[in-house]
Amino acid sequence: MKYGLIVLLVAAAFFPTTASATCPSQAGAFASGPFYWYTFDFDTTCASTSGNVYSTNMWCYSSPAYQWYSTGSGSVDYSMTVPSGVYSNFSVSVFVEFSDPHSYSGNAISASVVCRHNNSVTHSETIFIHQGNQGSLSCVRFDSSSFTASAGDTIEVSMGGQNYNWDTTMQISTPTIYSSNF
């Protein structure tokens, strides 16, 4: 009996019963003429969240996303360590769905990206900010500018929002990070 228990414990140590998702998932390299790139896609389970947000799917492309629900603020944060063997030019894209029947400037969402090398910020940028008085967005893509990163650097994408109305829809997709030779 003791021998059987030891075998089970050793097997459990080397063969876990649940697989954890790799955050983000890497795909590529892709090519189009002289251009090459990798993509890094996140799932909502990769995010660190706080406040009034919940995971959902956007109507466009069924993209995984986070939504800010009524009368509350919240944040969603994603992070990746740049792997070796990819290109040094990076950019980030997100899709946004925003509908505010009140056109209230207090209903707002935003996304930003920060890159760190040895804990020093090498790039910091607001990808977008959108408020209710700026109109609706229907699956609009926002892209950061291009920035340089190398293996071991950290890229963080942060999203924040404040919603005052139950019937206002504010969604941001999970980010896609691109590594390219252009």
pTM of the model: 0.85
What does the mean pLDDT of the chain come to?
88
d(CA 160, CA 112): 9
CATH code, residues 20-180 = 2.60.120.260
Percentage of the chain surpassing pLDDT 70? 88
Mind listing the pLDDT tens digit for each residue in 147-156? 999 999 999 9
For 86, 117, 118, 146, the CA distances from 122, given in Å and listed in that order, are 18, 6, 10, 12
